[in-house]
Amino acid sequence: MPTRSPRIGILVVAYNAESTLRGVLQRIPPQVSEKIEEIFVFDDASQDQTYAVGRACQEELHEGKLSIYRNPVNLMYGGNQRKGYEYAIEKGLDLVVLLHGDGQYAPEVMQELIAPLERGEAEMVMGSRMMERGAALRGNMPMYKYVGNRILTSTENALIGTRLSEFHSGYRAYSVNALRNIPLAELTSNWHFDTQIILEFLKRGYRIKEVPIPTYYGDEICYVNGIPYAMHCVWETLNFALRHRWRPHAALPLAPRPQE
């Protein structure tokens, strides 16, 4: 009996992305666009013309598979993701890819994130800018962000016994069935939502796989306040370590080591 192809959606989170959104949507590869069910853009109450750009793209791109939604109030980064995942769950999708509307992550390599989920090898796939030595800096990641990323990731790995090459990539793909078991409503609306969701997957023994992705830093505006973000990430990871890592029989899945 033939296996049903997974129903795949792409969640595009966007805030003040009027100058980049069209390009991001255009760069989604045709082979991915052909097999996905829907691309849903969630504009988080942008103060520019992001929503209007998205509506214009509906007539031009992806053959009717593009939907544009605008939050009436700003839900922040985590809140906007949560709304998108709830939408994917309501739609009964099998897989969902998180893509940022600011162009920082390459749509061209999206199939690399989808493939392990299609093969049943993981419940979460993270695109890592750190797996290939030197790639992040070649992609113009600012040195202070590179160093901060490495220090934070090393700290988090040490606290909970994982071997992720990067905790802080926003380019991800998920099993929607796994997301159904995550208490999304209890997670933060802030930037460390991404760290919390990793920990929730680990808590449930879900498999996390990393794939290398290219790095691009241009003139996009970064809204993350670095020091509070880092403090929140460390606190969440430490709290997880105290509550879960040291329990008897608690087993955390380990990601492969980054390539040297």
Is 238 within 8 Å of 161 (Cβ atoms)? no
Q: Does residue 246 surpass a pLDDT of 60?
A: no
Mean pLDDT across 29-39: 97
Higher pLDDT, 246 or 245: 245
Reported confidence tier of residue 219, pLDDT bands at 50, 70, 90: low
3-14 residue pLDDT tens: 789 999 999 999
Enter the pTM of the model. 0.91
Domains in the chain: ranges and CATH: 8-245 (3.90.550.10)
Helix axis angle for 226-240 and 143-160, nearest 10°, is 10
pLDDT at 225: 62
46-70 residue pLDDT tens: 999 999 999 999 989 999 999 999 9
145-155 residue pLDDT tens: 999 999 999 99
Q: How far apart are CA 35 and CA 117, in angstroms?
A: 14
Is 143 within 8 Å of 149 (Cβ atoms)? no
SS3 of the chain: helix, strand, coil, percent, to 5? 45, 15, 40
